[in-house]
C-alpha cells in the first residue's frame, strides 16, 4: 500500500508538538564575562550567586552592568558563557602610560629636589625654591665650592654630585650643606649625573638650572643679578663671561666683554667677521663648564644627552638645537662673569699608561665626541629622509583625482 505524503507530514508535526510539550526548552541569552566577574564576591557558586544580590553591592553591580551593557535589559536569569577578551595593543598601553590605571586627579607627573620636613602639615612646608644649582664636586675642592655656593641666594636649591664618595664631611664643615641634596657615585662625570638625576619632570619647578663645574672662580658673581640680565635679554641657554686675567679660555666667543651686558657672537681669534654669523664656536655657543638653562631648554638638552657617553663632549656644539632662535636666545652674560681655573682635570695624574689616567680619560672623551657626531649625523639624515617621504606622500595625495 502506498503511503500518503500529506499524512506523513502531518504525523511528523504532531509528534514534534507532543515532544515539545512534554520537554520544554529554556532559552537564555549568552552573556559576556563581565556578568560573572562583577559579582559580589561573597555568596556561593552557581548562576544565582553571580546574577542576583542584595544591598549596596548588588545595586552597584546592577548599575555597572546597566552602564556597560544597556542592550541586555534587566534580565537576572542568565547563563554566563566565558568569552575571551583581547588585551589592548602594546602601542596603546605605551601611549597611555602606566598611570592610566589611576584616577586622573591623583596623578602627579612632576617632582622637585626641595627637602621637606618629616613632621607638621605638608601645606606648611617651605615653598619649592625658584632656581636650582648643581655642582659636580670633590672634597679637595670644598673651599672653592663653598665660596661659589655663597653666591647663590636662598631662592636656589643646591645639589652636589660627589665623584669621590665623601659626603658627610661637608655637613660637618658647612651649614648650607645640611640643606643641600647630595648624590654620591664614585668617579663619574657631570653629564652622567645630570642624565640620571636631573630628569625634566624632576627639575620642572625650577625656572633656571645652573649646571656648573667645581673649579670656577665666582668672586665677582651674583646669581640673582645674572638671572635678571639673562631674562631681560631673552636668553634660554647662557653662561657667564670668562675672565681670562684670572682664568683660562677655550673659545674666544666666551670671553667677557667690558662694554656690553651680553653678547651672542664674536669675530675675534679664529672667527672672522664673516664667521660671526656662523654657529659654534663663533656664535650661539655656550660651553659645558658653566651653562645656565631655562626649564624649557633643559628639557630638550636632557633628551640629547646620550646615556652611555658620559663626558658630554659635543653637547655644547649642539645646544643651539634646543632653542628656536640660536642667534638671539643663546649668549654670554658679560655683566656677571667668572674665572675658569683648571681646564681639563678628570683622571689621575702620573703614569699615562694605566687605566684611569688623565691621558686615557681624555682619549675616551675624544672618542665619545666622534661617536656623538656620528649619531647626530645619522639622526639628521633619518629625520630629513622621513620629512622628504612625508612631503612626497602629501604631494601625491594632493595630485590624486577626487573620488567619483
Using one digit for the tens of pLDDT, what is the confidence trace for 212-228?
999 999 999 999 999 99
Count of domains observed in the chain: 1
C-alpha cell at 130: 625658584
Is residue 272 assigned to a domain?
yes
Task: Provide the percentage of residues in the chain whose pLDDT is more than 90.
Answer: 57
* Residue (of 174, 146, 152) closest to 224 by Cα position: 152
Is residue 329 assigned to a domain?
yes
Grouping H, G, I as helix, E, B as strand and the rest as coil, residue 235 is coil
Q: What is the pLDDT of residue 79?
A: 40
Is residue 278 assigned to a domain?
yes
What's the number of CA atoms in the CB half-sphere (13 Å) around residue 301? 29
CB atoms near residue 43 (< 10 Å): 13
Q: What is the pLDDT of residue 270?
A: 79
358 upstream amide cis, omega within 30 of 0: no
For residue 356, give the DSSP letter. Answer: T
Strand bridging mode 292-294 / 208-212: antiparallel
Residue 280 pLDDT level (bands cut at 50, 70, 90): confident
Is residue 40 assigned to a domain?
no
Report which secondary-structure segment, H or E, holds 240.
strand 237-242
* Residue (of 266, 402, 268, 396) closest to 331 by Cα position: 266
Note whether 286 and 239 are within 8 A (CB): yes
* Residue (of 194, 220, 210) closest to 291 by Cα position: 210
Q: What is the mean pLDDT of residues 242-267?
A: 92
Is residue 46 assigned to a domain?
no
Least confident of 108-122, 204-218, 348-362: 348-362
397 or 72: which leads in pLDDT:
397
Q: What is the pLDDT of residue 284?
A: 87
Which structural domain, as residue segments, surrounds residue 293?
122-346
**CATH number of the domain residue 173 falls in:** 3.90.550.10
C-alpha cell at 171: 655637613
* Residue (of 282, 257, 285, 256) closest to 268 by Cα position: 282
Q: What is the mean pLDDT of residues 170-183?
A: 96
* pLDDT per position as a tens digit, 155-167: 999 999 999 999 9
* Residue (of 332, 320, 321, 257) closest to 289 by Cα position: 332
∠26-31-33 over CA atoms, to 5°?
140
Q: Which residues contact 179 (CB under 8 A, 6 or more apart)?
A: 115, 158
Task: Provide the percentage of residues in the chain whose pLDDT is more than 70.
Answer: 71
> How far apart, in Å, are the Cα atoms of 57 and each of 35, 62, 73, 76?
14, 9, 19, 15
Is residue 133 assigned to a domain?
yes
Measured CA to CA, the distance from residue 167 to residue 156 in angstroms comes to 20
Residue 8 pLDDT level (bands cut at 50, 70, 90): low
Q: What is the pLDDT of residue 351?
A: 66
Q: What is the pLDDT of residue 39?
A: 38
Is residue 30 assigned to a domain?
no
* pLDDT per position as a tens digit, 28-77: 333 333 333 333 333 344 433 333 334 444 444 333 333 333 333 343 34
Residue 281 pLDDT level (bands cut at 50, 70, 90): confident
Measured CA to CA, the distance from residue 261 to residue 257 in angstroms comes to 8
Note whether 387 and 328 are within 8 A (CB): no
Note whether 84 and 35 are within 8 A (CB): no
Measured CA to CA, the distance from residue 318 to residue 280 in angstroms comes to 8
Is residue 247 assigned to a domain?
yes
Can you name the residues that pair with 339 across neighbouring β-strands?
217
Residue 344 pLDDT level (bands cut at 50, 70, 90): low
* Residue (of 202, 219, 160, 218) closest to 302 by Cα position: 202
Mean pLDDT (the chain) is 80
Answer yes or no: is pLDDT of 273 > 80. Answer: no
* Residue (of 345, 352, 354) closest to 163 by Cα position: 345
Residue 397 pLDDT level (bands cut at 50, 70, 90): confident
Amino acid at each position: 500500500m502506498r503511503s500518503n505524503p500529506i499524512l506523513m507530514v502531518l504525523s511528523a508535526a504532531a509528534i514534534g508538538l507532543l515532544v515539545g510539550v512534554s520537554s520544554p526548552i529554556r532559552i537564555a541569552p549568552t552573556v559576556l564575562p563581565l556578568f560573572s566577574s562583577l559579582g559580589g564576591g561573597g555568596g556561593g557558586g552557581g548562576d544565582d550567586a553571580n546574577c542576583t544580590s542584595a544591598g549596596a553591592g548588588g545595586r552597584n553591580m546592577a548599575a555597572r552592568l546597566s552602564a556597560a551593557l544597556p542592550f541586555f535589559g534587566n534580565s537576572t536569569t542568565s547563563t554566563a558563557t566565558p568569552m575571551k577578551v583581547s588585551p589592548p595593543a602594546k602601542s596603546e598601553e605605551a601611549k597611555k602610560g602606566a598611570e592610566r590605571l589611576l584616577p586622573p586627579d591623583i596623578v602627579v607627573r612632576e617632582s622637585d629636589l626641595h627637602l621637606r620636613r618629616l613632621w607638621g602639615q605638608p601645606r606648611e612646608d617651605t615653598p619649592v625654591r625658584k632656581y636650582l644649582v648643581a655642582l659636580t664636586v670633590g672634597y679637595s675642592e670644598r673651599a672653592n665650592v663653598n665660596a661659589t655656593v655663597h653666591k647663590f641666594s636662598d631662592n636656589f636649591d643646591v645639589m652636589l654630585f660627589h665623584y669621590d664618595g665623601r659626603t658627610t664631611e661637608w655637613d660637618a664643615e658647612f651649614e648650607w650643606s645640611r640643606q643641600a641634596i647630595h648624590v654620591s657615585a664614585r668617579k663619574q662625570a657631570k653629564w652622567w649625573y645630570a642624565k640620571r638625576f636631573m630628569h625634566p619632570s624632576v627639575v620642572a619647578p625650577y625656572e633656571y638650572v645652573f649646571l656648573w663645574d667645581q673649579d670656577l672662580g665666582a668672586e665677582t658673581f651674583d646669581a640673582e643679578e645674572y638671572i635678571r640680565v639673562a631674562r631681560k635679554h631673552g636668553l634660554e641657554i647662557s653662561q657667564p663671561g670668562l675672565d681670562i686675567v684670572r682664568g683660562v679660555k677655550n673659545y674666544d666667543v666666551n670671553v667677557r666683554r667690558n662694554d656690553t651686558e651680553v653678547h651672542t657672537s664674536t669675530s675675534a681669534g679664529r672667527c672672522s667677521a664673516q664667521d660671526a654669523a656662523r654657529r659654534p664656536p663663533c656664535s650661539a655657543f655656550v660651553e659645558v663648564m658653566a651653562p645656565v638653562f631655562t626649564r624649557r631648554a633643559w628639557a630638550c638638552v636632557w633628551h640629547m644627552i646620550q646615556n652611555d657617553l658620559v663626558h658630554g663632549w659635543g653637547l655644547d656644539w649642539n645646544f643651539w638645537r634646543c632653542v628656536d632662535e640660536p642667534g638671539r636666545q643663546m649668549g654670554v652674560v658679560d655683566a656677571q662673569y667668572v674665572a675658569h681655573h683648571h681646564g681639563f682635570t678628570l683622571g689621575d695624574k702620573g703614569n699615562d699608561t694605566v687605566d684611569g689616567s688623565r691621558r686615557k680619560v681624555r682619549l675616551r672623551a675624544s672618542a665619545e665626541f666622534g661617536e656623538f657626531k656620528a649619531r647626530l649625523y645619522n639622526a639628521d639624515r633619518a629625520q630629513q629622509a622621513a620629512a622628504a617621504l612625508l612631503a612626497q606622500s602629501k604631494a601625491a595625495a594632493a595630485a590624486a583625482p577626487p573620488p567619483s
